[in-house]
Chains A and B, each alone.
Chain A
């Protein structure tokens, strides 16, 4: 079975396809030349330029704030929805809820963005709130679509865990509320962390929905990148991209490492 078969070759070709563009981007971020595609020697000057660009720094801060609050809200909403989807009796209410929560997974972003913007405009008309679109409206929009991803991640974990522990806790007199926080949450905590991280990166990455939902006061990083990229390719963006790739890979490998260690520990204790 050691022979090189078609699917293995495809796997490595596919991996090359996925990673080559990013490597090229990283290499060219150290290019001296202003022309992105002409190599003119090694330089880190674009990183310096990047850290002097106040517009980009402000946008990074806005994006981080929105992503932090949105992923926290998404974990709360998504976990509640996942709980309903897995633990409650089947019924009309449960069906609509699970349809509504998974809909943003596939909905084209322009439709979600457009509909949320029109909602905010209507609400401002009717109750004068939100008076201006900004960070708050982007937060609402991101929480809604990230909750869908959290619900999927958490509900698959909720189905796997041993329910007899929860039942035992309730038999011993714990309230459902207490059972949830003392028993269920620790058991599903890897899924909660994964859902939070996933939401965080989705929110940081979103351009289309943020463009619809935000106002003049709140420009997120993707919006700044998009408008500068539309003007043409810029070496500053290469430097920014390299930093993003670096940070994300670092976080991914750290979380993978801890997940694997927890997995090994669990296996050796149960064996």
Chain B
């Protein structure tokens, strides 16, 4: 009762590659080309708010590349400072996540096997509930009449409420809180594969536990550290929601500026140029992350 061979391999293969390929080219690669194009056009007040890049008139094709948007970014200290503070914010948050996340991932990887899934689930659970709502929770905790200030005033440590909300400290707390699971997950994946006999060997040879950690565990988990750090660093550079809700007027981040240029000033070319420069800054971390991932895939294959 078998039907004749209808789906031969080449045809099936064609579809399996073709569909996701087409989709990604259409909705991922092409959009970036468009952003690049618009970043070179001149802003005008119309719909859409930029001048076309190519013009065909009197039998000549004119291509107008306007570098003004990029020059503006270089010239205006607002953008320059926003990039710098985004990079600083991302660096400090990544280090913070690493300092909290590494011991946590280590403890989970050392826990009895049957508890590990449960513990990882507990770490991941908060990130499945809404990101926005978790940031919002901190607004209530950090505000002038919030839980922390109430507690400190009640115990008599301070008499005036501390200004935490709408400062950079609040932004750091929010970012570390939101991105911590993204640091723990790759670290755990790496540490749980660590060969225990190497640690035993080090102990047998008389290495103290701290020394073993620096000389054996940490170097072996380098891949996990890189992956986790990149998963935190790259998105934080473009972060918009956390500085908008927890930060004050002085917490300038490039994601926030881009959003404002786009939605409030309706300056699409400058917003596109900001995005292109941001991508340029992130090229190295993104390549690092991809290299790590390719290596991981090779290892398990």
Partner-contacting stretch, out of A6-14, A51-59, A128-136, A185-193:
A6-14
With a cutoff of 8 Å between Cβ atoms, the chain B residues found around residue A107 in the complex are 234-235, 286
Does A103 make an interface contact (CB < 8 A)?
A: yes
With a cutoff of 8 Å between Cβ atoms, the chain B residues found around residue A147 in the complex are 20, 23
Is there an interface contact between B35 and A252, defined as CB atoms closer than 8 Å?
A: no
Is there an interface contact between B117 and A256, defined as CB atoms closer than 8 Å?
A: yes
Is there an interface contact between B17 and A115, defined as CB atoms closer than 8 Å?
A: no
Is there an interface contact between B241 and A226, defined as CB atoms closer than 8 Å?
A: yes
Within the complex, the shortest CB–CB distance from B38 to chain A, in Å, comes to 6
- Residue interface bits B6-28, CB-to-A below 8 A is 1, else 0: 11110011001101110111011
Does B66 make an interface contact (CB < 8 A)?
A: no
With a cutoff of 8 Å between Cβ atoms, the chain A residues found around residue B241 in the complex are 207-208, 226
Within the complex, the shortest CB–CB distance from B28 to chain A, in Å, comes to 6
User: In B25-59, which residues have CB < 8 Å from any A CB?
Assistant: 25, 27-32, 34-35, 38, 48
A18-B126, A37-B150, A205-B130 known; A110-B34 Cβ under 8 A: no
- B123's nearest neighbour on chain A, judged by CB, is A18
Does A262 make an interface contact (CB < 8 A)?
A: no
- Residue interface bits A24-48, CB-to-B below 8 A is 1, else 0: 1100100000011110000000000
Interchain CB contact (< 8 A) of B275 among A84, A101, A111:
A111
The complex places the Cα of A106 from the Cα of B118 at a distance, in Å, of 26
Is there an interface contact between A114 and B262, defined as CB atoms closer than 8 Å?
A: yes
User: In A94-141, which residues have CB < 8 Å from any B CB?
Assistant: 97-111, 114-116, 118-119, 121-122, 125, 140-141
Is there an interface contact between B35 and A118, defined as CB atoms closer than 8 Å?
A: yes
Within the complex, the shortest CB–CB distance from B125 to chain A, in Å, comes to 6
Residue of A11, A81, A98, A252 ringed by the most chain B CB atoms within 10 A: A11
Residue of B129, B258, B286 ringed by the most chain A CB atoms within 10 A: B129
Is there an interface contact between B131 and A106, defined as CB atoms closer than 8 Å?
A: no
With a cutoff of 8 Å between Cβ atoms, the chain A residues found around residue B61 in the complex are none
Does A72 make an interface contact (CB < 8 A)?
A: no
With a cutoff of 8 Å between Cβ atoms, the chain B residues found around residue A105 in the complex are 231
With a cutoff of 8 Å between Cβ atoms, the chain B residues found around residue A37 in the complex are 140, 143, 145-147, 150
Is there an interface contact between B128 and A252, defined as CB atoms closer than 8 Å?
A: yes
With a cutoff of 8 Å between Cβ atoms, the chain A residues found around residue B122 in the complex are 15, 18
With a cutoff of 8 Å between Cβ atoms, the chain B residues found around residue A259 in the complex are 117
Is there an interface contact between B106 and A7, defined as CB atoms closer than 8 Å?
A: yes
A21-B134, A37-B143 known; A81-B31 Cβ under 8 A: no
Does B284 make an interface contact (CB < 8 A)?
A: no
Interface residues on A, range: 35 or more
A100-B24, A109-B235, A115-B31 known; A225-B133 Cβ under 8 A: yes
The complex places the Cα of A240 from the Cα of B129 at a distance, in Å, of 11
Is there an interface contact between A108 and B5, defined as CB atoms closer than 8 Å?
A: no
Is there an interface contact between A22 and B31, defined as CB atoms closer than 8 Å?
A: no
Is there an interface contact between A118 and B34, defined as CB atoms closer than 8 Å?
A: yes
The complex places the Cα of A141 from the Cα of B23 at a distance, in Å, of 11
Residue of B9, B30, B125, B239 ringed by the most chain A CB atoms within 10 A: B125
With a cutoff of 8 Å between Cβ atoms, the chain B residues found around residue A35 in the complex are 145
Is there an interface contact between B177 and A177, defined as CB atoms closer than 8 Å?
A: no
A7-B103, A110-B259 known; A205-B131 Cβ under 8 A: yes
The complex places the Cα of A103 from the Cα of B24 at a distance, in Å, of 10
A144-B27, A233-B140 known; A114-B133 Cβ under 8 A: no
User: In B212-243, which residues have CB < 8 Å from any A CB?
Assistant: 230-231, 234-235, 237-241
With a cutoff of 8 Å between Cβ atoms, the chain A residues found around residue B119 in the complex are 11
Is there an interface contact between A24 and B32, defined as CB atoms closer than 8 Å?
A: no
Is there an interface contact between B121 and A256, defined as CB atoms closer than 8 Å?
A: yes
The complex places the Cα of A252 from the Cα of B124 at a distance, in Å, of 10
Interchain CB contact (< 8 A) of A14 among B104, B134, B271:
B104
Is there an interface contact between A156 and B300, defined as CB atoms closer than 8 Å?
A: yes
Within the complex, the shortest CB–CB distance from A214 to chain B, in Å, comes to 13
The complex places the Cα of A106 from the Cα of B266 at a distance, in Å, of 26
Does A86 make an interface contact (CB < 8 A)?
A: yes
Does B180 make an interface contact (CB < 8 A)?
A: yes
Is there an interface contact between B107 and A102, defined as CB atoms closer than 8 Å?
A: no
Does A173 make an interface contact (CB < 8 A)?
A: yes
Within the complex, the shortest CB–CB distance from B227 to chain A, in Å, comes to 10
A7-B106, A10-B100 known; A106-B234 Cβ under 8 A: yes
Is there an interface contact between A249 and B125, defined as CB atoms closer than 8 Å?
A: yes
Is there an interface contact between B258 and A110, defined as CB atoms closer than 8 Å?
A: yes
Is there an interface contact between B7 and A176, defined as CB atoms closer than 8 Å?
A: yes
Give the 6 A-B CB pairs with smallest separation, nearest first. A108-B238, A115-B31, A10-B103, A11-B107, A7-B107, A21-B137
B residues near A, CB below 8 A?
Answer: 2, 5-9, 12-13, 16-17, 19-21, 23-25, 27-32, 34-35, 38, 48, 100-101, 103-104, 106-108, 110, 117-119, 121-123, 125-126, 128-134, 136-141, 143, 145-147, 150, 177, 180-181, 230-231, 234-235, 237-241, 244-245, 255, 258-259, 262, 268, 271-272, 275, 278-279, 282, 285-286, 289-290, 293-294, 297, 300-301
**What are 25 A-B contacts with C-beta separation under 8 Å?**
A10-B107, A11-B107, A17-B177, A19-B126, A21-B138, A86-B301, A97-B24, A103-B28, A106-B235, A108-B255, A110-B258, A114-B272, A118-B34, A175-B5, A176-B9, A177-B6, A177-B7, A205-B131, A205-B132, A207-B241, A240-B133, A244-B130, A245-B133, A248-B125, A259-B117
